[in-house]
């Protein structure tokens, strides 16, 4: 029995030392996910889209404060991703069924983050807020707020979800853009002006 304990200690101590000293701190290589991401980026660029990560969160204070200054005039738009974007994406995120409200400024300077608030209608109580991306192509800006299915028997409390998003504008050129927030059945669209 004594030799078993000695053997375990003799193996575990060097293994632990080597693991701690030479552990790779970066994200591990995940071949399937990494190759899928690379293919997605390649297809988006080939279709003329640029993708920007968006910080999206559910505000603790309901809808939260709206934009300051002149507000963007919005109108209802047809649901679903634009055909070129749907064709370019390898994996289409779970979209809200409707985007009912959109509060955004009508104009801002390039470099200032675009802060918007929207209300998304979900098909049932089994989704939570996921990742959000802005897709830019020529003078079109498309915001896709994705949702993830909740595991097991978890359920969200409401089917109407307020989302606040901060969108970087430092990579965009000055000009007037058509800005659309996508829902699968109903979207919201408006005009955004970026000043130099």
- pLDDT tens profile 12-51: 989 998 888 888 778 777 888 888 888 888 999 999 999 9
Q: How wide is the angle at C-alpha 44 spanned by C-alphas 167 and 91, nearest 5°?
A: 85
The pair of structure tokens assigned to 107 is 């104009």
- pLDDT tens profile 78-137: 999 999 999 999 888 889 999 988 999 999 999 899 999 999 888 777 777 888 999 999
pLDDT value at residue 70:
77
b (16+ CB within 10 A) / e for 176-194? ebebbbbbbebbbbbebbb
- pTM of the full structure: 0.78
Domain boundaries, the chain: 50-195
- Helix or strand (DSSP H, E) at 136: strand 127-137
């Amino acid at each position: 029995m004594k030799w078993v304990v000695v053997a375990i200690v003799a193996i575990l101590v060097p293994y632990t030392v080597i693991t701690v000293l030479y552990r790779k701190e970066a994200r591990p290589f995940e071949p399937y996910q990494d190759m899928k991401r690379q293919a997605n980026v390649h297809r988006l660029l080939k279709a003329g889209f640029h993708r920007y990560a968006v910080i999206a969160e559910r505000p603790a204070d309901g809808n939260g404060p709206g934009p300051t200054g002149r507000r963007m005039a919005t109108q209802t738009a047809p649901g679903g991703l634009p055909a070129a974007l749907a064709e370019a994406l390898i994996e289409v995120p779970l979209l809200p069924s409707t985007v009912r409200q959109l509060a955004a400024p009508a104009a801002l300077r390039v470099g200032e983050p675009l802060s918007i608030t929207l209300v998304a209608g979900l098909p049932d109580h089994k989704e939570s807020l996921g990742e959000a991306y802005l897709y830019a192509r020529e003078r079109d800006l498309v915001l896709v707020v994705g949702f993830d299915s909740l595991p097991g028997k978890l359920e969200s409390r409401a089917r109407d979800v307020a989302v606040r998003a901060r969108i970087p504008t430092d990579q965009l050129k000055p000009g007037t853009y058509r800005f659309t927030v996508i829902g699968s059945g109903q979207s919201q669209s408006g005009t955004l002006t970026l000043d130099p």
